[in-house]
Structure 1
Amino acid sequence: MWLATGNTDMRRGFPSLALQVQEVLNKDPISGHLFVFRGRRSDLVKAIWHDGQGTCLFIKKTRERKFIWPAVAG
């Protein structure tokens, strides 16, 4: 599982999220790994995953809570 640090534009779909995986992480988005992205407001996450047959895009939105994300050391 890979967590994308920082905020991701949640208007992005699979093609642009997969491109981010390739360019930023230098990973193959259809490798079978799970890649998770969080929105700026912390109430929405998207995950892409390839199961060997096709690609899945999962979306989870919360109403009352926020997703806690690791801080970026820098």
Structure 2
Amino acid sequence: MIGPAPGTRIFLACGHTDMRRGMDGLAALVQQSFGADPFVGALWFFRGRRGRLVKCLWHDGQGLCLFAKRLEQGHFPWPVTSTGSVALSAAQASMLLEGIDWRNPQRTWRPSGAAPNSTGQAAQP
């Protein structure tokens, strides 16, 4: 299985996490700190202190998976709270992995008026 099924719950572990932890250490963190079961199929995202590395823990039904992404420039936007967890939608998680601020996404292109016709004039309504 390549990706999570539709409707999969996605969580961010707020604050920073020791990125030396592997899948067993992160699974124990999910159980102890958040009181959740890491083996139910939810995705758990963890961020390091500098904010350039994110690890994702996920049980795909066959085994525990650990994915990591390190940004070459910038950092991953993260909630301000230092404890607890935050639930995300699939779209927000996608923006997070692209380094986009998922809390307040901004449209970069807006249409401006009518498109010109073949003569270079704006089309008349």
Q: CA deviation at 1:73?
A: 7.5
1:53 maps to 62
More strand by share: 1
SS at match of 2:46: strand
Residue-by-residue CA offset, 1:8-66 (whole Å, 9 max, x unaligned): 00000001100000001101111100000000000000010001011110000001110
Identical-residue share of aligned pairs (%): 51
SS at match of 2:69: strand
Q: CA deviation at 1:2?
A: 1.1
1:14 maps to 23
Runs of 5+ consecutive residues of structure 2 not aligned to the other structure: 1-9, 84-125
SS at match of 1:19: helix
- Normalising by the residue count of structure 2, what TM-score does the alignment of the two structures yield? 0.57
CA contact 2:58–2:65 (8 Å) conserved in 1: yes
Runs of 5+ consecutive residues of structure 1 not aligned to the other structure: none
> CA RMSD of the aligned region, Å?
1.4
SS at match of 1:65: coil
1:30 maps to 39
* Larger RCO, structures 1/2 (Cα 8 Å, 6+ apart): 1
Q: Tell me the number of residue pairs that the alignment of Structure 1 and Structure 2 aligns.
A: 74
The change in CA–CA distance for 1:64 and 1:12 in structure 2 (over 3 A counts) is same
For residue 52 of structure 2, the aligned residue among 43, 46, 50 is: 43
- Normalising by the residue count of structure 1, what TM-score does the alignment of the two structures yield? 0.95
